[in-house]
Structure 1
Amino acid sequence: MTTQSEQALENKLIHQLTENGYEQVCIKDEVDLIQNLKVQLEKFNQTHYTDQEFKQILNHLSKPLNPFDKAKVLRDKFSFKNDANETVYVSFINSENWCDNVYQVTNQITVEGEYKTRFDVTLLINGLPLVQIELKKRGLELREAFNQVHRYNLHSYGSGYGLFQYIQLFIISNGANTKYYTYSKEPKFEFTFYWTDEKNKRISDLEDFAHIFLDKCHVSKMITRYMVLHEGNKQIMVLRPYQYYAVENIVEKVKTSTNNGYIWHTTGSGKTLTSFKASQILSRIPKVDKVVFCVDRSDLDYQTQREFNEFSPGSVDSTENTKTLVKHFNDNNTKLIVTTIQKLNTAISKEHHKKLMDELAEKRIVFIFDECHRSQFGDTHKRIVKFFRNHQLFGFTGTPIFAENASTKKGVKLLTKDLFGERLHEYVITDAISDGNVLPFSIEYVGRYTYKDTSKNNLDIEVEDIDTTELLESDVRIEKIANYIIANHSHKTKNKLFTAMFCISNTKTLIKYFDTFRRLENEGKHNLKIATIFSYTANENPTEDESGQIPEEALEYSNAKIDIHTRQVLDTYIEEYNKEFGTNYSTKDSQSFNDYYKNVAKRVRDKEIDVLFVVNMFLTGFDSPSLNTLYVDKKLKYHGLIQAFSRTNRLKGDKKSHGQIVSFRNLKTATDDAIALFSNKEAKEVIIVPPLEDFVEQFNEGVKNLLAITPTVSSVDDLYSEDEKLRFVKVFRDLLRLKNRMEGFSDFSFDDLMMNEQTFMNYVSKYQDLKQNALKQNKDSILNEVDFQLELLHKDEVNVNYILRLLANLEEDTEIDPQHKDKRQNEILSMVEADPLLRTKRELIERFISEQLTIINKGADITDLYQNFVEVEKKKEFKELVQTENLDENKFEETLETYMFSGRFPTNTELVNTLQDKPSFRERRTIGERLTERVTNFVDRYLR
């Protein structure tokens, strides 16, 4: 039996779609597409447009220069004057009754962009291409279809009237595996998603996927209801299946009952987006008076309000204080409120708010509680449900409270289901890791103690077995751990490509750690940028919480008794922070401290802080993809442990393969128990990264496969056919991925591998050359379909700043003889040539060396000097390019800005259109190719 061809796959899909109600149409090119668009828009809007009227519509559709703005046009109505000078409106999609749209399917549309391309299957809704399906025959990698769609986006979708930039959903399939995703400025394969059923079982076969996901009503519902236009970063977002089912179930509950419920979606799975979409839809239901999204910390209030408004500008107003909150409650135009549980409690408890709030007691109010495992078990919750008599409650949590992890209060264990009722949907950590939505953890336990008494035979005692305060807080232990972190931090964070947190048992011990790090810094032992934040209440337990859970450290201390000493110490640390970053924070009032909290959070995300020292703050509710390491000297259990560990496992490119936990306590049993509770008994191998030995074994097996194809580095040159080259690329790519995983382990060494580092890097060079050659080959080259994973080759330490520091140090070393200095300089520059991201900058670096390096004052900031040099050179080259090519400077600058925003490189035609004088038709191709080459070089040198 032969393998099903791509054409057979395509024919079967089209037949299935037509059986399901799509009209099959033949559209060969953009001319046909536009003619069909006119007919379908007339049908959808139940009118007729003259050619002149339709021209206005077409011009309106073509104006936006990027898919994000086009997505907004799609969802808006367009008004224009018809031939009778009357104002008429045209709609492009029905968002309220999503089934009432017009559906067609076509295939093999040819588009003349930078290259001539043909698209596999296109779904048209009301005549606009809104879904693009790219197919590969069975057996080929799904990533190849993804790469092809990406090239279409770069070279073809924006051509002509740019109607293909209206595509909202991309579907990629090889028959056996099928995924969906939406437009992104920087597309990454990890943000493609499988569809599932409500139990999180994948629906990957193309036929099954088409039956469910490409159902006319469902695909329209996804486009109109379950996509979000994120104004903050100008990205289009589409909900994942578990987010979809959670929202659907909440909405159904509100429409059909008054029962409560909760959503168990694991930490890091995107609960903010899910809860926003639920809140937004609920606020539009007529019988709902208010939707209140409630968080339990003021920083999360600010963060959530900001994110909601980035999802939908103006959707919520700030509730900076209780007075503002009460005002929003009494404003009939305000349907969606984001606030803290503390403000909500004050609003219903204080006498001076009572008159206004009493009027709301019978209103239909839906409450959505974020992190509902955390703050819903006290008297505040009881007051809220008693006051609002017509309430409906929904909770979101990544770690529900079960009998095993519940605290006993007055002899009673309160569980999440006791407060919120039925679990409406679950998506646990094993689901998220399996889907690639969060990362697994690598856990290292560091530190064992040995009895000094020889009568005890020098037995090693596990850290957890010696839990006396005297030992845990001893200066000797603290200094050893500090030295360990200093020695290993660069390795753990990929030379500070990522950042870390250090969670410590209590403030007393944190202060000892922080002072130790400061002393070691003054002694020249490290240059880590450290910061801290902790509470300073007098009743804070100075010893460990035996429950191993994470109590929330409050940001507001208006009613708390202050520990003067702790507060003074923290103010000292904040003053150091102020000097470091040019800020002006303190603990003098809650607002200043809140602002300090927000600033710290931003600098952790921006990698301006290497290690953040905390007790409880930031261990829950804080998201930072750039954080990859958590150092632990604290007892953790159950949901406290999972919450803390989950700070590290957000996705952040291929260099971040897992979240790293370095524990100075023996948390192994606690970790196993937490994993068993929040996933399933067999989940450990999914959640925890295997030991280094397993990766070494896999790598060495991969080396055998590589040597079977290319026994020597030079034999790569003998690979003749594309199939042979493709086989080499795939085998070596797997070795790259394994090496990236192994580099996170402290004891990783090439000595354990069957290939030494120099040989490996020689193969890297050949691998890199294949990528470069593939780019120059015919666009249909097989190699162009392959993801080369070159980003894995880029070591953060070998960047421009690193190179310049090496050269500056070399220049300052007067003891090296000139001949050796030249040799060493050439060796350093060879690092530039070996790095694909630096190679294009080599000429700039060499010129900087020859023109600037010898005259730089000792101690000067070489990075700033280089950036200034580059900026000057960029302006000079820009002017030279404009003058020699006779470009319109404003048009050319606008074209580059569009590229920087959309990520889509300008086509030959777009570059030719920036000329001051229009060339003849015969000249356009030659000029366009020359401009593309020159602009590519300029972009590589200065803008990437």
Structure 2
Amino acid sequence: MNRSLNPEAALEQEIINYLSNHGYLYIKPSDIKNSFNKEYAIDQDRLFSFIETTQPNVFNVLNLADQSARSKFLYNLDKAIKKDGIISVLKNGIKIYQVSSNVILFYHLLDEKDPDTKIKFEQNIFSVSNQLTYSDKNKQLELDLCIFINGLPIITIELKSRSSSTNWSYVDAMEQYKNDRSNLDTLFSFKRCIVHFAMDENDIAFSTKIDGDKTFFMPFNKGKDNGAGNPISNDGYMTDYLWKEILDKKNLTSLIKDFCYVLKDEKNNEKLIFPRYHQWRVVTKLVKDAYENKVGNKYLIQHSAGSGKSNSITWLSYKLVGLEKDKKPIFDSVVVITDRNNLDQQISNNLDQFGHLRTIFAHANDSNELAKFLNDGKKIIATTIQKFPYILDKDTSDLANKNFAIIIDEAHSSQAGEYSKNSNIAISGAINPNNDTEEPELDDYIYNFIKAQKMPKNASFFAFTATPKAETLTLFGEKVFDLYSMKQAIQERFILDVLKNYTTYNNYYKIIKTIKENPKLDALRTNIELKAYTHGHEVPIKEKSKIIVDHFITNVSWKIGNKAKAMVVTKNIDTAYKYHTNISKLLKEKRTNYEALIAFSGEWEDSGVKRTEANINGFSDYLTAKKFKEDKYRFLVVADKYQTGYDEPLLNAMYVDKKLSGVRAVQTLSRLNRCFKGKDDTFVLDFYNDVDEIKKAFQPYYSETLLIDELDPNKMYKLLSDLDNKQIYTDKDIELVVNWYKKRNMELKEINPTLDTCVDLFNKLSEDNQDKFKIGIKQFIKEYNFLANIIETPKEWTKKYFFFNQLVKRLPKSKKDNLSIPIPEIISLQNYRLEENDQTHIVLEDKQSEISLNYKYYDYKIQPVTDTLDNLVSYFNDFFGDNDTVYQHIYELQSNLYKQATLRNAILNSDRENIMLELEKVLKKELNNGDPELFRKYIKNEERFKDRLSSWLLDVLIQQYKPS
């Protein structure tokens, strides 16, 4: 650093020196003062020099050597910029009536292998000037730095230094833009420049519209330790990537040509779009890798909510379509796949508004259109994953000769199971159901099916997700290609921390038996049904509805300028309907002007009356999301709907009465995290889950998600061996069913005798072996669907996959399924009490999180433990009643016990007997360190307390944690 300069001036000089040494022309303040036209905000000398050098005929025809002709040209150029914006003018030039073609103002087409484009590109004049006096109204105002292309300003920069005597930072630079830079001055009028940077040595923020106090800045930082900020730079300045990467002439050209555009909304309001750093980074990295490694690769991008995935996908689509090698396109088409119709529409709208994509973009509304677009070679196609199962009915065999880029939004749900398999088959063209040519040999058919299920070699997959599951990481390569974490999104204020104001509740119930008989029932299943019965009972729902409405009116309704809304998340349609009814009634009783909507799929019968979302709300379910935006609708009560992919920024509170875990918990609660002006916090009232469960669900996705174990497909052989040993089927049976699949035109009666014989043999097995066999083939089908996307599965597996898919549909239900009685006929809820816990901030740990595939196979079935109804009622009241604090500690035991590694290992890998042995060991130790009264009861085994507690905990732990 030059010691004679103050820190801010030194930073300014560092940028100028670097740019001057890398192709920029430095225009001194004294020089720019004479050439900068303040009325039009144009460096006239550079502009006319560029036109004279590159387009001498235009220069002469327009007589641009003459001052009056120059003034007229500047007037027309100014009109074009005001109308279309600087981006359009740079990309397309301007039309002048004396000239047959547009006057080019920027040569942005650059092909390193084409000498002509390279020569033209080098004729562009990239320049930088400092201390620019830009205002006729206030001649003393100076801009720190301005970047020009051919005399047209495209970027302004205000610099601050934390090391200066004032200790000003980039925050002060933002305030300077808001308070001292007026959009009445041409340079700062909307669309005149592309972007305005406020920066210091450590941080950068940017805005695309200067509008006084309304000016909105966004971070333009790389991220540090997966959070906000920038990493330390060995070259001295954390923010040097701005002038070394972004202002690089080729990178800046790509930004203008491929990233920047003006977005218009339904009301014709305009917004200039400029990428955040991570958006530019991920698109640039992906395109570079796709160019270098060609087709057939997989990329997993972990980008949090708030990352702007829709724009990232738009930019990536456009860049991949234009990607060429040896003057040939690398990809014939780019297919953008989402797993939700509303996300599909959002991305489609983005692509459509990215002006120059309109002629090459198509949205496939059905499978016929999708097949046509793929075969016709439409460049960019947006669709949903749900359409791929139907595309197999179309002729897509020609697709094998084409290359595709498949961009998947929310990969964890889109790229799995049957949907994924069908999309892969379609793209690969490996199987054409309508092919009437000579039939392949059976082994060839099996081989083609296997090859088709794997991610085809004629496609590259680019998968975006905020919450990668272990299966997704395995499928795409165990480590994410690019990361923009939840932590960074929260710290940069692109999403809110939904765990900040989290309140849980304890539910206490007492039930009574309503029949004289005392039947023996399946203890585990009955306990589950008792919990479901009490949870969905009208009495608890009424009480919770009162809490919800009171909390909303008092704490939420007045937020976000009196526009705040809430979502109520319920377990099923029945509870959703009860909540909706109660909340609607309470809103009327309290004389509010608020109303509630309900959302669920299908229809539901209530007292003989068929209910649908549409007939309850009074309008089509297609309008629910749109209607909810109306001010009077403040509650949306949902049952497995709008919990993923739904974006309503006015959602400020969520009331949860449903079990949430894993990815689903993150997705559901994240409906609240969208930022909005005046929205500073969120509220969650959770009537079902505890704090530890929610933290456990969110932790893996707060920072980087890592996979800690490897896939072991060899365990499939053990599973198949156990199934084969039951002697239900023969190789001949399998071949017959596979052949039926192959021919397609065979009637079902051709395989009925074979499968019926297998069912007869199944019925002769013991009940325990029936359960083992049935669970085994279901496990095989599930895991085959997953493995087939990753490895080349053996023919034996594929044949059995075909066979088991038909056999499993015919196997009878277990007799043990009858060891229960409809609960409302034998039980009544006598008492209920709800207890509020303290509001808390669930703080996530700042670390990389590891997730496990848990890819294991099991060959046993939990033996049903039967008990009398009297005992089960007493047992339930002990654990869910509140007459003794001892029993509150009992319920907390299950999560504490599961934390013990030896017990957890036993649950995941052992049979029931061995699990019980390990449970008794760790339970005694846990109780000894806990409540003394509980330990005393356990040791003395009062009223069989030890036996009942161990049995209950065993059932609960197996039910909750053991994979089925």
**TM > 0.5:** yes
* Equivalent runs, 1:187-266 vs 2, <5 Å: 187-196=214-223, 202=230, 205-207=238-240, 209-232=242-265, 233-255=269-291, 256-257=293-294, 258-266=296-304
C-alpha distance 451-577 of structure 1, shift in aligned 2 (>3 A):
closer
Is 1:393 the counterpart of 2:461? The answer is yes
Q: Describe the superposition over 1:58-85 as per-residue Cα deviations: whole angstroms up to 9, x where unpaired.
A: 2332014748633322221224355xx6
Which stretch shows the higher mean deviation, 308-317 or 643-652? 308-317
Partner of 1:23: 25
Partner of 2:856: none
Is 1:384 the counterpart of 2:423? The answer is yes
Partner of 1:752: none
C-alpha distance 218-659 of structure 1, shift in aligned 2 (>3 A):
farther
Deviation at 1:506, TM superposition (A): 1.0
Aligned length, in residue pairs: 614
Distance 2:644 2:683 in 1: 17
Residues 184 and 235 in structure 1, CA contact (< 8 A), matched pair in contact too:
no
TM-score (norm 2): 0.58
Residue 685 of structure 2, aligned match among 650, 662, 677: 662
SS at match of 1:387: helix
Partner of 2:385: 341
Partner of 2:411: 372
State the AA in 2 paired with 1:63.
Answer: K
Deviation at 1:214, TM superposition (A): 3.0
Deviation at 1:650, TM superposition (A): 1.4
Segments of structure 1 that go 5 or more residues without pairing to the other structure are 403-413, 454-463, 537-561, 579-583, 586-595, 684-690, 696-944
Distance 2:671 2:220 in 1: 22
State the AA in 2 paired with 1:472.
Answer: H
Q: Describe the superposition over 1:561-589 as per-residue Cα deviations: whole angstroms up to 9, x where unpaired.
A: x6555996544x534533xxxxx52xxxx
Distance 1:512 1:165 in 2: 52
Distance 1:87 1:95 in 2: 17
State the AA in 2 paired with 1:382.
Answer: K
Distance 1:71 1:566 in 2: 62
Q: Describe the superposition over 1:586-643 as per-residue Cα deviations: whole angstroms up to 9, x where unpaired.
A: xxxxxxxxxx33x222233454521111122111111122222221111111111111
C-alpha distance 267-516 of structure 1, shift in aligned 2 (>3 A):
same
Distance 1:449 1:564 in 2: 28
Partner of 1:39: 49
Distance 2:705 2:372 in 1: 51
C-alpha distance 682-291 of structure 1, shift in aligned 2 (>3 A):
closer
Distance 1:467 1:444 in 2: 27
State the AA in 1 paired with 2:76.
Answer: H
Q: Describe the superposition over 1:778-809 as per-residue Cα deviations: whole angstroms up to 9, x where unpaired.
A: xxxxxxxxxxxxxxxxxxxxxxxxxxxxxxxx
Deviation at 1:452, TM superposition (A): 7.6
SS at match of 1:393: strand
Deviation at 1:308, TM superposition (A): 2.3
Q: Describe the superposition over 1:4-51 as per-residue Cα deviations: whole angstroms up to 9, x where unpaired.
A: 354444334323332333211130163382233211343455767232
Query: % of aligned pairs identical?
Result: 23
Residue 175 of structure 1, aligned match among 201, 207, 212: 201
C-alpha distance 415-130 of structure 1, shift in aligned 2 (>3 A):
closer
Residues 593 and 632 in structure 2, CA contact (< 8 A), matched pair in contact too:
no
Q: Describe the superposition over 1:812-840 as per-residue Cα deviations: whole angstroms up to 9, x where unpaired.
A: xxxxxxxxxxxxxxxxxxxxxxxxxxxxx
Distance 1:150 1:606 in 2: 32
* Equivalent runs, 1:450-461 vs 2, <5 Å: none
* Equivalent runs, 1:862-881 vs 2, <5 Å: none
Residues 333 and 404 in structure 2, CA contact (< 8 A), matched pair in contact too:
yes
Deviation at 1:428, TM superposition (A): 1.7
Residues 335 and 405 in structure 2, CA contact (< 8 A), matched pair in contact too:
yes
C-alpha distance 214-134 of structure 1, shift in aligned 2 (>3 A):
same
C-alpha distance 266-606 of structure 1, shift in aligned 2 (>3 A):
farther
SS at match of 1:28: helix
Residue 428 of structure 1, aligned match among 485, 489, 492: 485
* Equivalent runs, 1:224-623 vs 2, <5 Å: 224-232=257-265, 233-255=269-291, 256-257=293-294, 258-285=296-323, 286-312=329-355, 314=358, 316-332=361-377, 334-347=378-391, 349-350=392-393, 353-354=394-395, 357-389=396-428, 390-402=458-470, 414-418=471-475, 423-441=480-498, 442-449=500-507, 468-490=531-553, 491-495=555-559, 496-524=562-590, 526-536=592-602, 569-571=610-612, 574-575=614-615, 577-578=617-618, 584-585=619-620, 596-597=621-622, 599-605=623-629, 607-623=631-647
SS at match of 1:636: coil
Distance 2:629 2:397 in 1: 42
Distance 2:530 2:107 in 1: 64
Deviation at 1:269, TM superposition (A): 1.7
Deviation at 1:291, TM superposition (A): 0.7
Deviation at 1:127, TM superposition (A): 1.4
* Equivalent runs, 1:722-871 vs 2, <5 Å: none
Which structure has the larger Rg? 2
Deviation at 1:364, TM superposition (A): 0.7
Residue 10 of structure 1, aligned match among 8, 12, 24: 12
SS at match of 2:668: helix
SS at match of 1:107: strand
Which stretch shows the higher mean deviation, 640-649 or 52-61? 52-61
C-alpha distance 249-678 of structure 1, shift in aligned 2 (>3 A):
same
Q: Describe the superposition over 1:98-136 as per-residue Cα deviations: whole angstroms up to 9, x where unpaired.
A: 974421111222233444332111111121111111123
State the AA in 2 paired with 1:433.
Answer: I
Is 1:91 the counterpart of 2:149? The answer is no
Deviation at 1:251, TM superposition (A): 1.8
Distance 1:328 1:535 in 2: 30
C-alpha distance 42-528 of structure 1, shift in aligned 2 (>3 A):
same
Residues 468 and 705 in structure 2, CA contact (< 8 A), matched pair in contact too:
no
Residues 205 and 218 in structure 2, CA contact (< 8 A), matched pair in contact too:
no
Deviation at 1:293, TM superposition (A): 0.6
Residues 197 and 204 in structure 2, CA contact (< 8 A), matched pair in contact too:
yes
State the AA in 1 paired with 2:536.
Answer: E
Residues 198 and 245 in structure 1, CA contact (< 8 A), matched pair in contact too:
no
Deviation at 1:202, TM superposition (A): 1.5
Distance 1:196 1:693 in 2: 28
RMSD of the alignment, in Å?
Answer: 3.6
C-alpha distance 164-620 of structure 1, shift in aligned 2 (>3 A):
closer
Residues 44 and 126 in structure 1, CA contact (< 8 A), matched pair in contact too:
no
Residues 370 and 395 in structure 1, CA contact (< 8 A), matched pair in contact too:
yes
Deviation at 1:451, TM superposition (A): 7.2
Distance 1:607 1:627 in 2: 12
Is 1:627 the counterpart of 2:654? The answer is no
Distance 1:469 1:243 in 2: 45
State the AA in 1 paired with 2:218.
Answer: F
C-alpha distance 302-465 of structure 1, shift in aligned 2 (>3 A):
same
SS at match of 2:182: helix
Residues 395 and 420 in structure 1, CA contact (< 8 A), matched pair in contact too:
no
SS at match of 1:78: coil
Partner of 2:756: none
SS at match of 2:345: helix
Partner of 1:110: 133
C-alpha distance 670-310 of structure 1, shift in aligned 2 (>3 A):
farther
C-alpha distance 516-7 of structure 1, shift in aligned 2 (>3 A):
same
Partner of 2:864: none
Deviation at 1:86, TM superposition (A): 5.3
TM-score (norm 1): 0.60
Partner of 2:92: 76
C-alpha distance 202-608 of structure 1, shift in aligned 2 (>3 A):
farther
Partner of 1:918: none
